[in-house]
């Protein structure tokens, strides 16, 4: 964390405790909704194409921390978080006609990733 703490960041950067709290709220939503979608796709109750953006999102989400803090690659982390953001939009569009509650449940995730995306872009820009 020393490396991250030493980076230039915007004045509105949330405290680490707040970031942790947000993920404590969002990860259970992800677990429940993604699990539901994957289960429905496995049971062939929805097309596999509906689950595809959820799978892409999950991989990109899991890759962010190793990219940002392991590789310490701000630009690649920025690309990754934009993949996460786009895939959330795609997820909502893909699942909307099948399970609207799953789409609506992504609202906190989308709001947080939108904020995190602007923060990541800002940090990347400020540390060039």
pTM for the structure as a whole: 0.95
C-beta of residue 53 within 8 angstroms of C-beta of residue 43: no
Q: Domain coordinates of the chain in residue numbers?
A: 47-128
Cα distance between residue 38 and residue 35, in whole Å: 5
C-beta of residue 64 within 8 angstroms of C-beta of residue 81: yes
* pLDDT tens digits for range 94-107: 999 999 999 999 99
Instruction: Return the percentage of the chain with pLDDT > 70, whole number.
Output: 100
C-beta of residue 8 within 8 angstroms of C-beta of residue 123: yes
Cα distance between residue 39 and residue 31, in whole Å: 12
pLDDT at 56 (0 to 100): 98
* pLDDT tens digits for range 13-27: 999 999 999 999 999
């Amino acid at each position: 964390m020393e490396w991250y703490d030493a980076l230039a960041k915007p004045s509105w950067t949330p405290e680490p405790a707040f970031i942790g709290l947000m993920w404590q709220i969002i990860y259970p939503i992800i677990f429940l909704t993604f699990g539901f979608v994957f289960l429905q796709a496995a049971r062939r109750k929805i097309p596999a194409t509906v689950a595809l953006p959820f799978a892409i999102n999950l991989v990109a989400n899991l890759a962010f921390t190793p990219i940002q803090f392991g590789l310490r690659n701000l630009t690649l982390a920025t690309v990754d978080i934009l993949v996460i953001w786009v895939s959330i939009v795609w997820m909502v569009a893909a699942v909307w006609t099948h399970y609207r509650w799953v789409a609506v449940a992504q609202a906190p995730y989308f709001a947080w990733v939108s904020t995190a995306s602007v923060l990541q872009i800002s940090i990347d820009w400020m540390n060039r």
